Amino acid sequence: MVGMNTQNTTKNDQENYIKIKQYMAEGNFRAAEQLAKGEGQTHTAILLQRAANEVTESSEGKDKIKQLRDTYHYRAVNKQKVTVTIVGEQKITITSYYALAGHKKRGRRKAGRNGSGSHILLDYWGFHHKRSPGSFNEITRCGTAAASCELASEHLKSQDIKLSPKGVRAVTKKVGDVSVAKRTTHHLALAEGESLAGKRVGIGCDGGRVRTRKNKTGRKNKIQRRTKRTRYYTDWMEPKLLVIYILDKYGNKKKGTKPIYEATMGGKKEFAELLISLCEQLHLNEAKEIVLLGDGAPVIWNVFEQLQTKLRIKGKTTEVVDFYHACEHITELTEAHTNKSSKEQKAWFKELKGLLRAGKHQAFIVSVKHEAKVHNLPLLLKHLNYFKRHKQRMHYDQYAKANLPIGSGTVESAVRRVINLRLKAPGTFWKEENIDHMLSLRSALLSGRWDTFMSNFIQTISIRPTMVE
């Protein structure tokens, strides 16, 4: 019986090894890693190194290299040894074919596919900066999910993956930079063929808060020169986040569907381009019904206006000011009534809230104007400007009858999870150029789209031959 188990184990090992080689030959190094990882770390490195070398030296591998060379017009293809990092932060040395770009460049040469050259098979397998798909996936995911790179490093260390916080930060940024660069043309968190055509769609936007760090210039005093400390500004900035989700017949987020998150530190122009490009990729113009949710910030409604004009969707779009943001303005209004006691203010708040919720906008205005006149409080009239400006976005009674959402809880939740829990931590400062990549990665992770994101990322950085024999 023991001999039979050993024989079956050997047979399974051989079958797995054949599959690993097959995955590599097909360019799917990630699947090869996942299969080899079940054998334990030591065996993973041995299996992948052996399989990679055999595929490289095989006739099938050489044919693939020739196809890639002809497709991308590589020249001066030379065989050499290269050390790469695989899953588990292990190093293996494999045979590689290094090729120069197909044309000479004047001036200073740059590394990479369009510069001095690249490793053909590594690009074919989806390696990124000599890291395998499994390697940068596990590190980037941990660096994105953890509260800091230090905690990510400690968590990886508990899994026998030794990488410093600086290393976690570097790998995470390299992946995030690609995501940011591609999101306006090919959003990596979207599944192939994903579309909003024929669906009821909710789109919400809101801003968060991030504290930035920017070094001061100028002369340093004696203490600063002695301690070698750099002075810096710590200004607050507002990243803008958008959420796109499918509505059910009751106006709630449809169960079983995943929302789409994205955020940027860019200004109004960049935010508008991001939203419009994402909606174009999703064929929002073919949606059945669209609800646009936001607070009273003019920039959000200006961006929504651009979206409706660009995609020509005004006829099936409803704009809604978040009811709970409106209630916050009612609170400010009632608290400005200094002639009322705290109890009377609360009673008046309840009355005004009920009028607004019932769609009795004119009665709401009359009540405020009456109190302002009777108690000689012109300040109350200033608070009315918000409600007058957004009157056409506050028909809450009609929205309820049409089963449309009146609150932006989905957006508020996304802001808290994507931005606040990672980028707004106490005592945390960010360089402005390091924020966007983290926002993009956390958007993919916390919307439940990480696997889709990573598959698309690998496909984006990989090369494929146009000729298939």
Report how far residue 400's alpha carbon sits from residue 196's, in angstroms, rounded to the nearest whole number.
23
SS3 430: strand
The confidence score (pLDDT) of residue 40 equals 65
The answer on pLDDT for 111 being more than 80 is no
The answer on pLDDT for 4 being more than 50 is no
Q: What is the pLDDT of residues 364-373, one digit of tens each?
A: 999 999 999 9
The confidence score (pLDDT) of residue 103 equals 57
Q: What are phi and psi of 258, to 5 degrees?
A: -105, 130
Q: What is the mean pLDDT of the chain?
A: 90
Q: Give the CA distances from residue 427 to residues 210, 216, 431, in Å, rounded to whole numbers and listed in that order.
A: 11, 19, 13
- Per cent of the chain over pLDDT 90 is 79
The answer on pLDDT for 33 being more than 90 is yes
Calculate mean pLDDT across residues 118-126.
Answer: 94
Question: Greater confidence, 114 or 170?
Answer: 170
Q: What is the pLDDT of residues 377-388, one digit of tens each?
A: 999 999 999 999
Question: Which residue in the block uniquely carries the two structure tokens 């609170």?
Answer: 331
The answer on pLDDT for 226 being more than 80 is no
The confidence score (pLDDT) of residue 107 equals 52
The answer on pLDDT for 352 being more than 60 is yes
The answer on pLDDT for 114 being more than 60 is no
How many CA atoms lie within 13 Å of 399's alpha carbon, on the beta-carbon side? 27
The confidence score (pLDDT) of residue 13 equals 78
The confidence score (pLDDT) of residue 38 equals 74
Report how far residue 400's alpha carbon sits from residue 423's, in angstroms, rounded to the nearest whole number.
36
Report how far residue 23's alpha carbon sits from residue 134's, in angstroms, rounded to the nearest whole number.
14
H helices of 294-360, where? 298-311, 323-335, 342-357
Report how far residue 55's alpha carbon sits from residue 282's, in angstroms, rounded to the nearest whole number.
39
Please choose, from the candidates 303, 264, 299, the residue with its C-alpha nearest in 3D space to the C-alpha of residue 432. 264
Report how far residue 329's alpha carbon sits from residue 167's, in angstroms, rounded to the nearest whole number.
46
Tell me the pLDDT band of 85, cut-offs 50, 70 and 90. very high
Calculate mean pLDDT across residues 154-163.
Answer: 93
The answer on pLDDT for 106 being more than 70 is no
The answer on pLDDT for 109 being more than 70 is no
The answer on pLDDT for 66 being more than 50 is yes
The confidence score (pLDDT) of residue 220 equals 72
| Tally of CB atoms within 10 A around 401 | 10
The confidence score (pLDDT) of residue 454 equals 97
Q: What is the pLDDT of residues 383-430, one digit of tens each?
A: 999 999 999 999 999 999 999 999 988 999 999 999 999 999 888 899
Report how far residue 205's alpha carbon sits from residue 243's, in angstroms, rounded to the nearest whole number.
6
Check: CB of residue 97 under 8 Å from CB of residue 120.
Answer: yes
If you compute the radius of gyration of the chain from its CA atoms, what whole number of angstroms results?
28
pTM above 0.85, yes or no: yes
Calculate mean pLDDT across residues 166-191.
Answer: 94
Please choose, from the candidates 64, 45, 51, the residue with its C-alpha nearest in 3D space to the C-alpha of residue 121. 64
Please choose, from the candidates 196, 83, 67, 199, the residue with its C-alpha nearest in 3D space to the C-alpha of residue 120. 67
Tell me the pLDDT band of 41, cut-offs 50, 70 and 90. low
